């Protein structure tokens, strides 16, 4: 299979070609390896290639995606006997003892693992620039970030290395790279996809695994492959009555959609992100949906503090695990990570519990909203992608060092203005995604807009818990009304011509 031909197909179409014997899995994987070899040097999306193993991998021929190549994210999506670094030097010796549930089910679905994609340390940022792997770059403009934390997966999928790639989302890490790379990205409901066997609920239930894709149908079919509880999971979410791949083809009916464009943290929102929402709202009205301005009513700064409290606790626990199991020292972690870990170690336990309990307030507020509306529509991100290295400014590093010194001296409390400043610095570019994580509700980013400079801009739609079917149905309508697949061909041609 020629590389130019390979780039024209999504995962569903490639599986169909293999199933009908028009092409072999090896030929498809060879085309994927050829594409990776030609573009990854410019993107730094793949941190751990497994090309030879992929060409030799057996797969069940009855799988939905039998013989189709997939990249896994180097965070949580663990393969037995293979390193999973979480983007951290402290985890470079972490060899998974068994497949994660995500990987096991992907194998059963017939997918062939081409390698692992880069992520920021512990998946903590909306950029993918770790000291371990270096910066990953956006194929639409390689001076820009592909987002994070599934930035390597987003860049690899948009650039055509694979038709879809593994991702996970604890604060926007599926939706943000989808928005920045012109992809479709669905974060499922809490409990839809098992985090097992090593975890019951990833990030206390805030995080969920799935994929970033070029097409809606690939996301729906992959959700069928991945969804369902595993033995020992903390709870079971009711499955849909029909496969998502079939449900997405059905009509959603006329939906009532609440629209908002202002940041819940009162931070600046780029005009391009607002324009994307307004353009999408007009398309939705033309499709017969009722659209009006409305937003869930909740305390935005409280949500930011609750989310940062989750950060603090999870990072301190991860650092402790790396030190205990792999002999890591503080010097094995980046400055921001060390600071966040110190915040976790010094946060009173009662503060952590109170913040975790407050998640319920956001869920109830969203429940009231969904009593009046079927979905919400808002920007996926508040800003366009940052330039590589833009967020590692001297002022940022100075603030981080100052906060660390104050922590060591016992002169900083978690309710202080300095902590609020750090929260806003961390979340200001992506203020719209954390609500779905803390409430456990499904949300998706859809590539509905391109800037004058040719950059993709995603819009976010969110649904009540268990509402993936409605989101996929609406996404399928939008994909027909404003097709985005053709943009990838333009990207592929431009990227190849530039020597990418």
* Residues with catalytic function: 73, 149, 173
| Residue among 102, 70, 78, 266 at smallest CA distance from 194 | 102
Cα-trace Rg, the chain: 21
Task: Give dist(CA 494, CA 500) in Å, integer.
Answer: 9
| Residue among 427, 428, 422 at smallest CA distance from 403 | 422
- Residue 438 tokens, joined: 């803390």
| Residue among 163, 196, 158 at smallest CA distance from 78 | 196
**Hey, how many other C-beta atoms are within 10 angstroms of the C-beta on 221?**
25
Task: Give dist(CA 316, CA 347) in Å, integer.
Answer: 10
Do 222 and 213 contact (CB within 8 A), yes or no?
yes
User: Which residues does 63 contact at the CB level (< 8 Å), separation at least 6?
Assistant: 108, 109, 110, 111, 225
Instruction: Supply the DSSP string of 194-230, one letter for each residue.
Output: --TTT-SSGGGGT-EEEEEESSHHHHHHHHHHHBB--
| Residue among 218, 133, 139 at smallest CA distance from 487 | 139
Task: Give dist(CA 115, CA 315) in Å, integer.
Answer: 26
Task: Give dist(CA 294, CA 258) in Å, integer.
Answer: 5
- Residue 469 tokens, joined: 């079917």
SS3 23: coil
| Residue among 175, 147, 123 at smallest CA distance from 433 | 175
Task: Give dist(CA 36, CA 16) in Å, integer.
Answer: 22
- Residue 423 tokens, joined: 């929260």
- Residue 257 tokens, joined: 């959609």
- Residue 88 tokens, joined: 């951290």
Task: Give dist(CA 30, CA 98) in Å, integer.
Answer: 27
- Residue 6 tokens, joined: 């390979």
């Amino acid at each position: 299979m020629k590389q130019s031909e390979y780039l024209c197909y999504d995962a569903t179409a490639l599986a169909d070609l293999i199933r009908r014997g028009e092409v072999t899995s090896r030929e498809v994987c060879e085309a994927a390896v050829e594409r990776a070899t030609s573009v990854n040097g410019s993107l730094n999306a793949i941190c751990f290639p497994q090309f030879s193993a992929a060409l030799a991998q057996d797969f069940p021929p009855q799988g939905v995606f039998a013989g189709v190549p997939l990249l896994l994210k180097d965070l949580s999506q663990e393969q037995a006997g293979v390193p999973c670094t979480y983007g951290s030097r402290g985890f470079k010796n972490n060899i998974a003892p068994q497949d994660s549930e995500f990987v096991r089910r992907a194998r059963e679905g017939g997918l062939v693992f081409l390698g692992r994609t880069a992520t920021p340390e512990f998946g903590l940022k909306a950029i993918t620039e770790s000291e371990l792997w270096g910066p990953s770059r956006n194929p639409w403009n390689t001076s820009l970030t592909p987002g994070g934390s599934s930035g390597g997966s987003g860049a690899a999928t948009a650039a055509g290395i694979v038709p879809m790639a593994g991702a996970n989302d604890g604060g926007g890490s599926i939706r943000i790279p989808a928005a920045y790379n012109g992809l479709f990205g669905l974060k499922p409901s809490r409990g839809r996809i098992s985090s097992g066997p090593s975890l019951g609920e990833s990030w206390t239930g805030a995080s969920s695994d799935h994929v970033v894709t070029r097409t809606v149908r690939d996301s729906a079919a992959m959700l069928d492959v991945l969804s369902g509880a595993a033995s020992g999971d903390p709870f079971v979410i009711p499955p849909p009555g029909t496969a998502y791949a079939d449900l997405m083809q059905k009509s959603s009916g006329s939906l009532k959609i609440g629209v908002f464009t202002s940041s819940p943290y009162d931070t600046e929102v780029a005009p391009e992100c607002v324009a994307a929402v307004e353009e999408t709202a007009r398309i939705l009205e033309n499709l017969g949906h009722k659209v009006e301005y409305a937003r869930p009513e909740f305390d935005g700064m409280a949500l930011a503090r609750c989310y940062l409290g989750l950060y603090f606790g999870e990072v301190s626990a991860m650092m402790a695990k790396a030190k205990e199991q792999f002999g890591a020292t503080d010097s094995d972690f980046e400055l921001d990570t060390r600071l966040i870990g110190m915040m976790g170690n010094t946060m009173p336990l009662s503060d952590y519990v109170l913040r975790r309990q407050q998640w319920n307030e956001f869920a109830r507020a969203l429940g009231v909203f969904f009593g009046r509306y079927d979905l919400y529509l808002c920007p996926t991100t508040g800003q366009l992608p940052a330039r590589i290295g833009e967020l590692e400014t001297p002022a940022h590093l100075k603030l981080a060092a100052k906060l660390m010194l104050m922590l060591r001296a016992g002169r900083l409390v978690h309710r202080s203005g300095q902590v609020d400043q750090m929260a806003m610095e961390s979340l200001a570019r992506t203020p719209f995604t954390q609500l779905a994580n803390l409430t456990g509700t499904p949300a998706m980013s859809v590539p509905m807009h391109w800037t004058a400079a040719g950059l993709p801009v995603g819009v976010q739609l969110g649904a009540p818990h268990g509402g993936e079917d409605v989101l996929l149905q609406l996404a399928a309508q939008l994909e027909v009304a404003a097709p985005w697949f053709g943009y990838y061909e333009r990207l592929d041609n431009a990227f190849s011509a530039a020597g990418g």
